Chain A
């Protein structure tokens, strides 16, 4: 393993207690610095487990995980400030205002108060939420909650941003805005790991994608390369269905 990659996993294995089938079975992923990387997988493929392990939220049975060349098994203390997680759930406090939520999350990253306030203002402006800064989260629309959820993961200007389905349940306008901002943030040098079910989104914004199934990566490359490699397909979705099959997967 080298430190050429922002995120690097090697032969990661994980079987949950009481289960006989491994959730991760030799999961190897390499995300280059500065890329906007899409991880695409059907339900139950193990992507949430993989993300949780990368973020230090779950233990794994064997394998290696490195963030910017640092092995997470040596401890997460130095690694945590390097990345920001935008979970699929709206991981905010609903009875607090947008500003209070962001102040708390930013404060926990150790950002000094004047810088934190400046950063909150900038990001609220960027995501068109300045006017709603003092409104309670439980009164926000789905799209507004998603945007605040994203800001909370970006307050400390992380070098790596991990987003788990950030456009689920939002309207077309909010989705467009979120994707545009992600591209903008990536252009500024942030490595982005983008997990989504929407393949057209991945094709639209990602510089590289990986398909995951049954706990391991089955194919990886740029969208153009993957489409070209499977010459019967004319878009990423066709490649995805070709590789993962058309059987509906129910997550249990």
Chain B
């Protein structure tokens, strides 16, 4: 044990003197978590804060114009302008403004749109009741929507379907009114359709919840654990680098001629880096709780099981340390380990849902993401943050990470034994 303390002392001193490595391990994730959370939050805010600029010109004084106008206002996603320099713009002006990217959307509802629809409906109903086989000639109705070419297709489709739905509803109301009027003219018993708007079917879209808890994390709940895991796995560069440097400088060979085993040598590194990773987790959680609210973001709610969080942090750390030790033993040079280590961690992060949450990924990518140890960790943290899960619920994720760490550790020892002793 006394000898092991000297190994710990060595690894502590080496780490303490590696200023660049320490900055990489602590400053980089701290900056990333703040930056990425703010970026994601601002993306959500575009939709939440009624900030899609819309130029709306409603020349129609009838019900359709009013209904569309009201619908757009109620949607809450638009910042509506109706005039340019105090004047109602023409259709050409609307197009110019949208083309100049001043507005994302321009809607031009021409005069008498409602009246034209009403007239067309009357013609249809009259023809139907007269028994004539030929359809009547109808006046065309059209309003124009200008969309900024850079606008996402999904967004313009959403706007189009909303407007189409609204106009169809109004057409339906007119048809119903006109049929009622015609029937009442020939029927001895008057009928009434007042108050019938065809809104019996109510579609209620909700986010799926489990036991009353939200399943989709907010940007803080996603980014804090995600970038914590990224930071923890990024220690592979420092850890594998220190193993390779000691091997290349010869101090490793000297250590092996001393009364200490290779397992002790690795364990010492593992203990020192475990402390680093736990400090990283602590720092990131503190940023989530105290720093992110300074930027107008929600404070991180840690759930109700601190033990589950500790177990997750320990398991993720062991997985990352095992991975770093394996790379340090397999790679021949520091260059190899730093390039492979960095790229593999970035890939693990990308498929594991660190950058883009897995719930917005395609099904194929969601299946692939299950291969990443960062996904296991993130999934555990989501259970704790969103579902108030305890230790029992996150045991599968922890077991997977611990198993991964142990496999890496075994690979490292076997690889080193075979290479070093040439057996």
The interface residues of chain A lying within 8 Å CB-to-CB of B6 are: 103-104, 107-108
Residues A85 and B259 in contact in the complex (CB < 8 Å), given A59-B421, A108-B6: no
Is A87 a contact partner of B258 (Cβ separation < 8 A)?
A: no
Inter-chain contacts of A95 with B (CB < 8 A): 13-14, 17-18
Interface size class of A (residues with CB under 8 A): 20 to 34
Q: Considering the chains assembled together, what is the distance between the CA atoms of A92 and B245 in angstroms?
A: 11
Which residues of the partner chain B approach A118 to less than 8 Å between Cβ atoms? none
Q: In this assembly, does A81 line the interface, its C-beta being within 8 Å of a C-beta of chain B?
A: yes
Taking CB atoms, residues of chain B closer than 8 Å to A96 are 10, 13-14, 17
CB contact between B420 and one of A57, A90, A108 (< 8 Å): that residue: A57
A92 and B251 contact, Cβ closer than 8 Å, known pairs A17-B422, A58-B422, A100-B13:
yes
Point out the residue from A57, A77, A94, A109 that lies within 8 Å of B249, measured CB to CB. A94
B120 to chain A, nearest CB (A): 85
Knowing A16-B422, A93-B10, say if A87 contacts B250 (CB, 8 Å): yes
B2-31 residues at the A interface, CB under 8 angstroms = 2-3, 5-7, 9-10, 13-14, 17-18
Shortest B207–chain A CB gap in Å is 52
| Partner among A55, A100, A107 whose Cβ is within 8 Å of the Cβ of B3 | A107
CB-based contact B255/A108 at 8 Å: yes
A90 close to B253 (CB less than 8 A): no
Indicate whether A89 reaches chain B with its CB closer than 8 angstroms.
yes
- Determine if A105 is an interface residue (Cβ-Cβ < 8 Å): yes
CA distance A81 to B422 in the complex (A): 24
- Proximity string of chain A (44-79) to chain B, C-beta cutoff 8 Å, 1 when within and 0 when not: 000000000001111100000000000000000100
B191 within 8 A of partner (CB): no
- Closest-CB distance, B167 to chain A (whole angstroms): 74
Tell me the smallest distance from the CB of A205 to a CB of chain B, in Å.
Answer: 23
**Size bracket, chain B contacts:** 20 to 34
Closest residue on chain B to residue A92 by CB atoms = B251
CA gap between A92 and B421 in the complex, in Å: 22
Do B259 and A104 have beta carbons less than 8 Å apart? no
Q: Please tell me if the beta carbons of A93 and B2 are within 8 angstroms of each other in the complex.
A: no
User: In the complex where A89-B249, A93-B14 touch, is A80 in contact with B259 (Cβ < 8 A)?
Assistant: yes
Q: Mark A150-178, 1 if CB is under 8 A from B, else 0.
A: 00110000000000000000000000000
Knowing A93-B14, A107-B6 touch, does A59 contact B422 (C-beta < 8 A)? yes
B254 near A109: Cβ-Cβ < 8 Å: no
Q: How far is the CB of B407 from chain A (nearest CB, A)?
A: 25
Is the pair A91, B17 in contact by a Cβ cutoff of 8 Å? no
* In the complex, chain B residues whose CB is within 8 Å of the CB of A83: 257
11 CB contacts below 8 A, A to B, read: A57-B420, A87-B250, A88-B250, A90-B249, A91-B249, A93-B249, A96-B13, A104-B6, A105-B254, A110-B3, A153-B254
Not counting A87-B254, A89-B250, a sample of 19 additional A-B residue pairs whose C-beta atoms are within 8 angstroms of each other reads: A17-B422, A56-B256, A57-B253, A58-B420, A59-B421, A80-B259, A83-B257, A85-B253, A87-B250, A87-B253, A90-B250, A91-B254, A92-B249, A104-B6, A107-B5, A107-B9, A108-B255, A110-B2, A153-B254
Chain B residues in contact with chain A, CB under 8 A?
2-3, 5-7, 9-10, 13-14, 17-18, 246, 249-251, 253-260, 420-423
